[in-house]
């Protein structure tokens, strides 16, 4: 299957030496994802040439000529042929080198001494690291591809020859694992929150022209501020402080507070307060949690403090706000 059919979902693992190469002059009807564990591969598509090293995720779109080969003595990598779900294209856009090639650079994986295929899976895989979780997702994807669609999916095996997911349920499970891989790999990409140009000068752009600029063109704010806002929105009830948020984006508390206020027009803790109150309003609207439970879930120190703060923001205390919705 040198040119896999568009509808096929195929998962495989290769450990190739210096003679390995694949060239598709007309491209492939399917998309191709490759995640390097050891060594390196040279990949060309759409005018872009890149070297994928340990931890790097390469995604090639369909219908574009491509060529890839071992770069050096060894290239050990997982790969999947698939058709992307619509949201995946948006996730990959910041990592585009050309319209058809994407690189999400990862941190280097630790060297492993047990390099036989039979030793790829648990318990050797360290699940606490992002690379370990990505590898586990590939192991599950390969097992799911072998599933008949009835009963319990098989466990990861001792050989990792290419396998096509033939059952519809198997394909959906494989695509679910691929979705997890894409989310983890793009979250793991380094320099996601690079230096601000005003700190020490902008460095060269990387995937999507974003690396090292400090400004995330997707949201129009400093990347470190964007990351802090993501952390607040993901868990508004967490015990966020200026110090904890600054540490998460590798800034001193004073520098973080200055940059955050400069870019958003408010202090970090006012942003935390706004997120907590918005979350509380949602809980009041959608659940029957009592006021104390809502306060605790949103990170307020007491129901009294929560009620007073909520009334200042919404013009009604929490109980009256919920009652108005039900009237």
Which two three-digit tokens encode residue 188?
A: 């793991």
Taking only the tens place, the pLDDT of each residue in 112-140 is 333 333 444 443 444 458 889 999 999 99
- CA separation for the pair 146, 152 (Å, rounded): 11
The 3-class SS string of 146-213 reads CCCCCCCCCCCCCCCCCEECCCHHHHHHHHHHHHHHHHHHHHHCCCCCCCCHHHHCCCCCCHHHCCCC
Please check whether residue 224 is in contact with residue 193, taking contact to mean a CB–CB distance below 8 angstroms: yes
Taking only the tens place, the pLDDT of each residue in 250-290 is 999 999 999 999 988 999 999 999 999 999 999 999 898 99
Q: What is the mean pLDDT of each run of 10 residues along the chain (327 residues)?
A: 67 95 91 96 90 95 92 96 91 88 73 39 51 94 94 84 92 96 80 43 35 36 83 91 94 94 92 93 91 94 94 93 77
Which residues of the chain does CATH 2.60.120.280 include? Answer: 10-188
Which two three-digit tokens encode residue 61?
A: 């779109």
Cα–Cα separations (whole angstroms), residue 120 to 1, 33, 126, 143: 25, 19, 11, 13
CATH class for the domain made up of 270-326: mainly alpha
Within 10 A of 161 (CB to CB), how many other CB atoms are there? Answer: 11
70: left (phi over 0), alpha (psi -120 to 50) or beta: beta
Q: Which residues pair with 76 in a beta bridge?
A: 15, 38
Which residues of the chain does CATH 1.10.10.60 include? Answer: 270-326
Q: In this predicted structure, what is the pLDDT of residue 215? A: 36
Q: In this predicted structure, what is the pLDDT of residue 230? A: 86
- CA separation for the pair 138, 121 (Å, rounded): 10
Which two three-digit tokens encode residue 97?
A: 């080198």
Q: In this predicted structure, what is the pLDDT of residue 5? A: 62
Which stretches of the chain are assigned E, i.e. beta strand?
10-16, 21-24, 31-45, 48-52, 57-60, 66-82, 96-98, 101-104, 163-164, 215-216, 221-222
Architecture of the domain spanning 10-188:
Sandwich (2.60)
């Amino acid at each position: 299957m040198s040119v896999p059919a568009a509808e096929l979902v195929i998962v495989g693992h290769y450990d190739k030496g210096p003679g390995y190469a694949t060239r598709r002059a007309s491209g492939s009807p399917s998309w191709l994802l490759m995640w390097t564990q050891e060594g390196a591969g040279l990949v060309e598509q759409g005018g872009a040439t890149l070297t994928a090293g340990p931890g790097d995720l390469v995604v090639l779109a369909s219908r574009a000529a491509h060529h890839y080969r071992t770069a050096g003595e060894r290239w050990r990598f997982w790969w999947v042929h698939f058709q992307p779900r619509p949201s995946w294209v948006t996730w990959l856009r910041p990592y585009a080198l050309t319209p058809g090639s994407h690189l999400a650079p990862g941190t280097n994986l630790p060297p492993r001494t047990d390099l036989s295929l039979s030793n790829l899976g648990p318990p050797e895989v360290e699940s606490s690291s992002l690379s370990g979780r990505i590898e586990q997702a590939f192991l599950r994807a390969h097992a799911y591809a072998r599933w008949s669609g009835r009963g319990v999916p098989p466990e990861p095996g001792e050989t990792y020859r290419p396998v096509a997911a033939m059952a519809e349920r198997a394909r959906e499970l494989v695509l679910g694992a691929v979705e997890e891989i894409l989310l983890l790999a793009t979250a793991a990409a380094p320099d996601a929150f690079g230096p601000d140009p005003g700190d020490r000068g902008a460095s060269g752009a990387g995937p999507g022209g974003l690396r090292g600029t400090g400004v995330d063109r997707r949201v129009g704010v400093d990347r470190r501020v964007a990351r802090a806002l993501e952390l607040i929105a993901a868990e508004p009830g967490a015990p966020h402080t200026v110090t904890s948020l600054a540490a998460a984006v590798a800034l001193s508390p004073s520098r973080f507070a200055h940059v955050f206020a400069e870019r958003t027009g408010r202090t970090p803790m006012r942003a935390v307060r706004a997120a907590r109150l918005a979350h509380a309003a949602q809980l009041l609207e959608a659940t029957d949690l009592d006021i104390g439970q809502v306060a605790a879930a949103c990170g307020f120190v007491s129901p009294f403090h929560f009620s007073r703060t909520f009334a200042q923001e919404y013009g009604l205390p929490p109980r009256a706000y919920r009652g108005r919705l039900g009237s």
